[in-house]
Amino acid sequence: MSEQTPRPPSGATPGSTPGTGAGAAPRVVIAEDEALIRMDLAEMLEEEGYVVVGQADDGEKAVAMATELRPDLVILDVKMPRLDGIAAAEQIARQRIAPVVILTAFSQRDLVERARDAGAMAYLVKPFDQTDLVPAVEMALSRFAELRQVEAEVADLQERLETRKAVDRAKGVLQERLCLTEPESFRWIQKTAMDLRLSMRQVADGVVLHGPGGSGPARSGGSGGPDVV
């Protein structure tokens, strides 16, 4: 069976990107090797207000579509030619493209665990209807959003920690070379960052690498504290 060309959502204008604006309908890629199931699934999703932007009949096409289209959700059947749904889900999850819902005709514990380990956010046992589909989709979207938020918070905390370490190292350099106190060293870094329109992390790294008199970006006026790289 061949890949189907996605239908544009109603009301879309040429050149617009569905799903990227505030309040836009979530964009979905479907991968299912049985055409009838794939068509039924697309119809159910569209009736619920989702936009089906791509349909594939094997796992390799699904991964390629997800990588290119960057949808908000990917629905994968477990058993597909060329690349099965579990392997496809693993690739999509590794790239943090979108949450994955796995479709399966079986509900064995080992299959569910494999899907979870591959990064799937929800699974759906066939046969299913609209009342089964919607909760699974909403669960996947919600879990993925929570995961992204946690990752962003962890990254922010890590950046703050690294900035604090860099500033502490730079303060030591300034105290030694310019005979400044610790509060004066901090204010020096803070003012230089403002003057050069750099982050405190960038200024601190420059001080540690090149010293307080490093040849950084030129500043208008020629005053307000030493330059840094």
DSSP calls for 94-112: HTT---EEEEES---HHHH
| Domain spans, the chain | 27-150, 159-229
CB-count burial class (<10 Å; 0-12, 13-18, 19+) for 157: exposed
| pLDDT of amino acid 135 | 92
Tokens of 226: 């030493």
Does the domain at residues 159-229 carry the CATH identifier 1.10.3720.10? no
What pTM was computed for the model?
0.65
CA separation for the pair 174, 223 (Å, rounded): 18
- 89-112: pLDDT as tens digits: 999 999 999 999 999 887 777 777
CA separation for the pair 200, 210 (Å, rounded): 15
- The residues near 5 (Cβ < 8 Å, ≥ 6 apart) are none
What integer best gives the mean pLDDT of the chain?
82
Other Cβ atoms closer than 10 A to 98: 23
- 183-229: pLDDT as tens digits: 999 999 999 999 999 999 999 999 999 888 752 333 333 334 444 43
8 Rama class: left (phi>0) / alpha (psi -120 to 50) / beta: beta
Per-residue pLDDT at 34 exceeds 60:
yes
- pLDDT tier at 73, thresholds 50, 70, 90: very high
Q: Report, at the CATH architecture level, how domain 27-150 is classified.
A: 3-Layer(aba) Sandwich (3.40)
User: In the predicted model, what is the mean pLDDT of residues 153-162?
Assistant: 90
- Residue 18 preceded by cis peptide, ω within 30: no
Sheet order of strands, 122-125 included = 51-56, 27-31, 73-77, 100-104, 122-125
